């Protein structure tokens, strides 16, 4: 047990070190540039005609104790939790990620649900029902994309005979486990009348820790997918499959590549996914490998979990800027079409900024700065929008355009301690209007003074230590090249 705990601490340290490294690199770069930026305004060339991945959306996760985390908020404010996450004035999430319980027991003989083709007692499984109670209020507000992922298989099918401390699923039980997962999805469909659109067979298959975990190699995941796909199809389930959700882009790639190389398994692969922990200030080859594979095979990329681990929850702008930098890198460098925060809200007992919302303090709902920098993206960039090309690397810009190319969004991250003037030049595209929304130490996605607009460009000064979303209307120029071909991003 001590060995596993030491390994868990190393994993947490690795994630925390990556987060801190990203912040230092980002802030130091900004401070170094701040000395000359006033004399040399940054100029960016924007290309709405050159587009890449189509965005599927943004989301957050739920687990068996999420209901407790939400109920830690005062009763009169609990609706506000969901309103902030899914309402029109918050982050407007459209993807729900949640855990599949490992503890469901077989249904007794003669149970009424057996007549519907179900085999496991999900309705009396505590973990399953706690997750359902946490996500059910979401479905009253919106119709999200729903995807489910186990953190472990039932212990009886694993090498270590328990849900925690890693272990692996024994190959002779692949069929049993595939039926178990299919039964879960079938239960949601037949009893709860909810379609689970996406299933990932394992959360972080490279990790063995003292909480629920299970290790898989890339070849094992490939072999299991070749069992899982036919099992689902035999039950009439059209659920899409995602791999591999490694803890970093490099680790995810190692466990994804065998499936990409196997035509039989690749037929069942609908989404390539990674978590975004690790050393974000360093070059991560995994992002580039995911991007290239997406272009080659036409399979979209998701970033399916990220948070700040290893330090107490930090609701400040410092952490918010780090989150924004991860979002920029994952969307631009890996071509991620979805970006999902670890949890919607999470307990203060675990070290880290694990939720989009901070843990409640004495019942008071805490809305951290990272919530608002997340909203700088998710509130404005809607499903179906595509990422557009922006030339220039003075600081982080992520641009998007709607399907009609009549509206655009640019999210600009200024990690410098100084204001930074910038010009965005759209070539022969005409800009009809532009607005600016800022998150900073003193502002929460607040509308601020509009940029200075010219026919084909606008000038703006980005506030120190801020994330600014620039939203505008476009008119086509007389000539434009065709958009760059891209893989489908909708699951």
For the chain, 491 residues long, give each residue's pLDDT as a single digit of tens: 444 444 444 455 455 444 444 444 444 344 334 343 444 689 999 999 999 999 999 999 999 999 999 999 999 999 999 999 999 999 999 999 999 999 999 999 999 999 999 999 999 999 999 999 999 999 999 999 999 999 999 999 999 999 999 999 999 999 999 999 999 999 999 999 999 999 999 999 999 999 999 999 999 999 999 999 999 999 999 999 999 999 999 999 999 999 999 999 999 999 999 999 977 666 578 999 999 999 999 999 999 999 998 889 999 999 999 999 999 999 999 999 999 999 999 998 888 999 999 999 999 999 999 999 999 999 999 999 999 999 987 779 999 999 999 999 999 999 999 999 999 999 999 999 999 999 999 999 999 999 999 999 999 999 999 999 999 999 986 555 444 444 443 44
Q: What is the pTM of this model?
A: 0.91
Strand ranges of the sheet holding 430-439, from the earlier edge strand across to the other edge: 446-448, 430-439, 466-475, 407-414, 396-401, 386-391, 42-54, 420-425, 457-462, 452-453
Please state, in angstroms and rounded to a whole number, the distance separating the CA atoms of residues 150 and 153: 7
Compute φ and ψ for 85, nearest 5 degrees.
-80, -35
CB 395 within 8 A of CB 416: yes
DSSP state of 140: T
Please state, in angstroms and rounded to a whole number, the distance separating the CA atoms of residues 324 and 315: 14
Q: Torsion over CA of 344, 346, 352 and 353, rounded to 10 degrees?
A: 30
Q: Tell me, what's the pLDDT at 476?
A: 82
Break the chain into its structural domains and give their ranges: 55-383
Compute φ and ψ for 2, nearest 5 degrees.
-60, -35
Residue closest to 119 by CA, chosen among 187, 55, 20, 32: 187
In which element (H, E) is residue 43 found? Answer: strand 42-54
Q: Tell me, what's the pLDDT at 195?
A: 98
Q: How far is CA 224 from CA 15, 156, 181, 239, 264, in A?
A: 28, 17, 12, 16, 12
Helix axes 174-190 and 218-234, enclosed angle (nearest 10): 50
Q: Tell me, what's the pLDDT at 478?
A: 55
CB 214 within 8 A of CB 153: yes
DSSP state of 202: -
User: Nearest-5° angle of CA 390, CA 392, CA 395?
Assistant: 100
DSSP string, 116-131: GT--B-GGG-HHHHHH
Please state, in angstroms and rounded to a whole number, the distance separating the CA atoms of residues 445 and 436: 9
Q: How many helices (H) and strands (E) does the chain have?
A: 11, 23
User: Nearest-5° angle of CA 253, CA 21, CA 368?
Assistant: 95
Q: Tell me, what's the pLDDT at 33?
A: 42
**Class of 55-383 in CATH:** alpha beta
CB 119 within 8 A of CB 176: no
Q: Tell me whether strands 457-462 and 386-391 are parallel, antiparallel or unpaired.
A: unpaired
């Amino acid at each position: 047990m001590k060995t596993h705990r030491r390994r868990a601490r190393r994993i947490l340290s690795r994630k925390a070190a990556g987060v801190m490294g990203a912040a230092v690199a980002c802030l130091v770069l900004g401070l170094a540039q701040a000395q000359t930026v006033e004399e040399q305004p940054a100029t960016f060339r924007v290309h709405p005609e050159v587009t890449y991945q189509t965005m599927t959306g943004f989301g957050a996760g739920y687990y068996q104790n999420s209901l407790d985390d939400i109920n830690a908020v005062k009763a009169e404010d609990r609706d506000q939790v969901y309103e902030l996450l899914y309402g029109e004035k918050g982050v407007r999430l459209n993807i729900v990620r949640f855990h599949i319980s490992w503890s469901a027991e077989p249904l007794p003989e003669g149970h009424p649900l057996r007549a519907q083709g179900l085999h496991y007692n999900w309705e009396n499984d505590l973990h399953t029902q706690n997750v359902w109670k946490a996500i059910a209020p979401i479905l009253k507000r919106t119709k999200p994309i729903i995807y489910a992922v186990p953190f472990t298989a039932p212990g009886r099918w694993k090498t270590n005979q328990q849900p925690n401390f890693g272990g692996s699923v024994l190959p002779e039980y692949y069929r049993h486990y595939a039926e178990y997962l299919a039964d879960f999805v079938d239960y949601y469909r037949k009893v709860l009348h909810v379609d689970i659109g996406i299933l990932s067979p394992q959360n972080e298959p490279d990790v063995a820790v003292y909480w629920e975990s299970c290790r898989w190699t890339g070849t094992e995941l490939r072999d299991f997918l070749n069992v899982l796909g036919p099992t689902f199809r035999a039950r009439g389930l059209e659920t899409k499959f995602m791999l591999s959700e490694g803890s970093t882009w490099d680790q995810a790639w190692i466990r994804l590549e065998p499936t990409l190389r196997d035509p039989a398994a690749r037929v069942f692969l609908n989404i390539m996914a990674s978590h975004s922990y690790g050393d974000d200030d360093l070059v991560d080859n995994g992002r580039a490998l995911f991007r290239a594979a997406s272009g080659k095979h036409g399979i979209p990329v998701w970033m399916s979990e990220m948070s700040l681990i290893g330090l107490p929850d930090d609701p400040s702008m410092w952490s918010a800027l780090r989150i924004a930098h991860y979002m920029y890198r994952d969307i631009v460098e890996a071509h991620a079409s979805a970006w999902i925060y670890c949890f919607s809200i999470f307990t203060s007992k675990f070290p880290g900024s694990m939720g989009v919302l901070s843990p409640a303090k004495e019942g008071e709902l805490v809305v951290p700065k990272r919530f608002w920098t997340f909203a700088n993206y998710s509130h404005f960039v809607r499903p179906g929008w595509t990422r557009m090309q922006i030339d220039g690397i003075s600081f982080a810009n992520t641009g998007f355009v709607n399907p009609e190319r009549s509206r655009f969004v640019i999210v600009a991250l200024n990690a410098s301690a100084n204001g930074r003037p910038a010009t965005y030049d759209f070539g022969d595209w005409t800009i009809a209007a532009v607005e600016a929304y800022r998150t900073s130490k003193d502002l929460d996605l607040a509308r601020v003074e509009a940029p200075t607009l010219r026919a084909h460009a606008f000038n703006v000064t980005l506030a120190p230590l801020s994330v600014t979303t620039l939203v505008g209307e476009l008119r086509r120029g007389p000539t434009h090249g065709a958009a760059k071909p891209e893989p489908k991003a909708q699951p």
